[in-house]
Amino acid sequence: MDSALLIHRLHFAFTITFHYLFPQLTMGLAPLIVVLKTLALRRHGEIYNQAARFWASIFGINFVLGVVTGIPMEFQFGTNWSHFSRFAGGVIGQTLAMEGMFAFFLESAFLGLFLYGEKRLTPRAHLWSAVAVFLGSWLSGYFIIATDAWMQYPVGYERAADGSIQLGSFWKLVLNPWAGWQYAHNMSGAAITGAFVMASIGAFYLLWGKYEEYGRIFVKVGVVAGCLFSVLQVFPTGDQQGQMVFRHQPPTLAAMEGLFTEQAGAPIVLIGQPNVDEGRIDNPVIIPGALGFLTYRRWGARMQGLDAFPPEFRPQNITLLYYSYHIMVGLGTIFIAIMMLSALLLWRGKLFQARWMLWILLLSLPFPYIANTAGWMTAELGRQPWLVYGLMLTADGYSKTVSAGNGLFTLLGFMGMYTVLGILFLFLVRREIERGPAAEAVGH
């Protein structure tokens, strides 16, 4: 592979992966903060308000990092992927600009009000500012997904005389069916992160034996939300997202599943290492015939393998794609088990005493982040070798005027900067958690 191409890909991949660690928590926590504020208003419980303030302060730190790592994303379409931008900017510029106009302004304006204005607002108005932040962050998610969905499954475009792609139908772009399911799947994933983080911090307080009153609220809200969203994550959103890939990107599905050759009664591989050179899965543990059920809804249906597609149109990194997909699905299944079990214990009134379960909740904190990251790697590696599926190859999209050396220089710069930001983030969040929910919030 051309080294400039590799560096520009890594540049985007690294910065977006790091960036998305923050918005997934922002989008996941926003509805939970609305729930806490609503409980405060309904039950007149000051403790819920204080709990909301605690999560707002974590949200605030997280939001700052989401913003500062997000601005580079908007810029990198132009700086590192200028040929792609020139080719497709007439279409995806629409959704990206709408994100700024509709989502960011809403979110930033009301976050300022939510964080700094509690004393100036009535309780009800303060709740509404939390709702506005929630709406803003979830709208922002939609515009980004619509952009990615168009790259996965381009619709509503026309080809201009100069070879570039222009908008043909606004509504087709905005209501892309791929975007609908991808959005549901992705937002549910973000909500899982929010729920697990809240439950995990709550479990921490209960195990620590401090702020237990808050710990119980956090675990309860986290487990109820986690239960709901971890189920939605698999069905219907994950299932339908898989159908989209099966229908519109068949080589991608074959690579994700590690199906190298066409076969009747294709299995689902639970565990096993793809051996790309030999074209088979080594040491597999399989469910025979199950893949046909997931795709054709018929047990044991005949499936096309990777060998049905010309090599140049297969995803290049089959191994990484296969692992990403399997880690995502495996973790998603474990999440359902954890949350169902916790919910059962909660219902029986035993969860707060079941220390082993609280330990599991505490230690599960990093895994939703891993699952969300693996999910995005599945989507983006799966689209390869295309940048815009069927329209533009990734190899044709990067900035030809920006040399590999310059790209590597700024990639290393971002790595250094993000290491510092990551350490600061962990340091400050750890401090907030240690100070506890009952502490006075900090501010200028």
Site for another protein in 65-84 (CB under 8 A): 67-69, 71-72, 74-75, 77-80, 82-83
**Nearest residue (CB) to another protein, 15 versus 182:** 15
**CA atoms of 34 and 15, how far apart (whole Å):** 30
Interface segment toward another protein; rule CB under 8 A; list 88-96, 244-252, 273-281, 336-344: 88-96
Residue closest to 89 by CA, chosen among 196, 149, 164, 141: 164
**Nearest residue (CB) to another protein, 166 versus 316:** 166
**Nearest residue (CB) to another protein, 363 versus 442:** 442
Cα atoms in the 13 Å half-sphere on the side-chain side of 2: 14
| Least distance between another protein and beta carbon 148 (Å) | 15
Interface segment toward another protein; rule CB under 8 A; list 255-263, 276-284, 332-340, 393-401: 393-401
- Write down how long the chain is: 444
Q: Map the footprint of another protein across residues 130-169, applying CB under 8 A.
A: 158, 160, 164, 166-168
Residue 265 has a CB neighbour count (10 Å cut-off) of: 14
Binding flag, residue 428, another protein (CB under 8 A): yes
Peptide bond just before 154 cis, omega within 30 deg: no
| Least distance between another protein and beta carbon 141 (Å) | 16
| Least distance between another protein and beta carbon 98 (Å) | 6
The string of DSSP letters for 215-259 reads: HHHHHHHHHHHHHHHHHHIIIIIIHHHHHHHHHH-HHHHHHHHT-
Q: Map the footprint of another protein across residues 394-423, applying CB under 8 A.
A: 399-403, 406, 410, 413, 417, 421
SS3 303: strand
Q: Map the footprint of another protein across residues 40-59, applying CB under 8 A.
A: 53
* Torsion sign (Cα): 176, 178, 184, 188: negative
Q: Map the footprint of another protein across residues 96-125, applying CB under 8 A.
A: 96-102, 104-106, 108-113, 115-121
Residue written as tokens 């379960």?
Answer: 357
**Nearest residue (CB) to another protein, 66 versus 382:** 66
Q: What are phi and psi of 337, to 5 degrees?
A: -60, -45
| Least distance between another protein and beta carbon 3 (Å) | 17
**Nearest residue (CB) to another protein, 207 versus 438:** 438
Residues 6 or more apart from 242 whose CB is under 8 A from it? 253, 294, 295
Token pair, residue 318, equals 């089959």
The string of DSSP letters for 371-422 reads: HHHHHHHHHHHHHTTEEETTTEEGGGTS-TTS-HHHHHHHHHHHHHHHHHHH
* Torsion sign (Cα): 415, 418, 420, 423: negative
Question: What single DSSP character describes residue 288?
Answer: T
Q: Exactly one of 93, 250, 422, 436 binds another protein (CB under 8 A); which one?
A: 93
Token pair, residue 55, equals 């999560």
| Least distance between another protein and beta carbon 344 (Å) | 38
Interface segment toward another protein; rule CB under 8 A; list 29-37, 232-240, 273-281, 425-433: 425-433
**Nearest residue (CB) to another protein, 276 versus 421:** 421
**Nearest residue (CB) to another protein, 40 versus 203:** 40
Q: Map the footprint of another protein across residues 223-282, applying CB under 8 A.
A: none
**Nearest residue (CB) to another protein, 160 versus 370:** 160
SS3 349: coil
**Cross-strand partners of 302:** 264
Q: Exactly one of 28, 31, 60, 305 binds another protein (CB under 8 A); which one?
A: 60
Residues 6 or more apart from 366 whose CB is under 8 A from it? none
**Nearest residue (CB) to another protein, 283 versus 401:** 401
The count of residues interacting with another protein (CB under 8 A) is: 74
| Least distance between another protein and beta carbon 183 (Å) | 19
**Nearest residue (CB) to another protein, 301 versus 421:** 421
SS3 115: helix
Q: Exactly one of 6, 10, 86, 289 binds another protein (CB under 8 A); which one?
A: 86
| Least distance between another protein and beta carbon 172 (Å) | 11
Interface segment toward another protein; rule CB under 8 A; list 198-206, 264-272, 317-325, 428-436: 428-436
115-131: b (≥16 Cβ within 10 Å) or e: beebeeeeeeebbbbbb
Q: Map the footprint of another protein across residues 333-362, applying CB under 8 A.
A: none
**CA atoms of 344 and 298, how far apart (whole Å):** 33
| Least distance between another protein and beta carbon 420 (Å) | 9
**Nearest residue (CB) to another protein, 88 versus 371:** 88
| Least distance between another protein and beta carbon 132 (Å) | 8
| Least distance between another protein and beta carbon 278 (Å) | 42
